[in-house]
Amino acid sequence: MQSNNIPETTVDYGMTYGEVDGAGKPVSRIVLGSVMLDVDRLPFSFALLDFFVECGGNCIDTAWVYRLGGSEKCVGAWIEKRAIRDRIVLIGKGAATVHCTPELVTTQLVESLERLRTDYVDIYLMHRDNPNVPVGEFVECLNEHQRSGRIRAFGGSNWTTSRLAEANSYARAHNLRGFSASSPNLSLAVWNEPTWIDCLSASDLASREWYAQTKMPLFAWSSQAAGFFTRRYDEGEPDKSVKQVMTRVWFNEENFERLRRARQLAGAKGVTPNLIALAYVLCESPQVFALIGPENTDELRQCLEGLKLTLSPAERRWLNLESKSL
């Protein structure tokens, strides 16, 4: 009879780990997104989660809004079935609206914990910010949940660097815990506009410099630009809406030049352009974590190969069009 527990790490992909103040565990720098996981796809979802952990991954990104709660329920069922909670770093996100309030944070956090079948999340991120609410009110609310044990570390997703700095200034002035992490987009490709309304990217130079100076851990969503470097949308993509989103967000001349250079460097290194794009993010800083959303274990296996790639500063500058030649 097969055990409910998954084995210890059995495949060595050279997983690396970082630290997030307050989380209490090392955090794998490859983070598995959960938007593709659902209670209606348990065999697929469990297989993907099992393989991720077998390969050394331990951080899973969840959100109250994903699949109307189905993703959280799926991850919660898997953690309970595998009896693996102590080994997992759970990222929870809530309040995905610019009209968010501390009250909404509390309501959705409690619902998320119920769905995830756990008493706490290791890292809680506010999915959006509401600049009309004094930042101190959010800091006070999150500290209350931290003291209660519902969350261990917290931060913001799609928060501007100025509001992150303001939040931590308030925390220092009031002897409170500040934001320990942030999750904007960061990728080699630079978007024309956000994929979803009110989302933020840190791909610009000013944001990258701010994160480098503050050393705030950055959890980069769409770290591979939603498949831009695979060009899978050109390979008979059945969903026309996918191509429309790709065109609206990622299609521009500079990105096509980045793609051309990624292909050239990939050929020289014997890898795929998509791995070059992932390595570009991972080589930004040891404080950067890459969120990925593989559709199957083969895609996950390919992504994990990116851990073995090292790009020099000169290669990264060239890929990002900051220099004309290597």
pLDDT, tens digit (0-9, with 9 covering 90-100), for 86-139? 999 999 999 999 999 999 999 999 999 999 999 999 999 999 999 999 999 999
Helical packing angle, 102-116 and 70-82, nearest 10°: 40
pLDDT surpasses 80 at 10: no
Domain residue ranges in the chain: 17-183
Residue % of the chain over a pLDDT of 90: 88
C-alpha separations of 150 from 26, 44, 84, 106, 153 in Å: 19, 29, 18, 10, 10
Q: Confidence class of residue 1 from pLDDT cuts 50, 70 and 90? A: very low
CATH 3.20.20.100 fits 17-183, yes or no: yes
Q: How many CB atoms lie within 10 A of CB 236?
A: 6
Q: How many CB atoms lie within 10 A of CB 70?
A: 18
Q: Confidence class of residue 28 from pLDDT cuts 50, 70 and 90? A: very high
- What is the average pLDDT across 52-70? 97
* Whether the Cβ atoms of residue 290 and residue 31 lie closer than 8 Å to each other: yes
Return the DSSP state at 238. S
Return the DSSP state at 151. E
Q: What pLDDT does 3 receive?
A: 43
Helix (H) or strand (E) holding 123: strand 121-126
Residue % of the chain over a pLDDT of 70: 94
- As a whole number of angstroms, the distance between CA 69 and CA 55 comes to 27
Q: Over the stretch 183-220, which tens digit does the pLDDT of each residue have?
A: 999 999 999 999 999 999 999 999 999 999 999 999 99
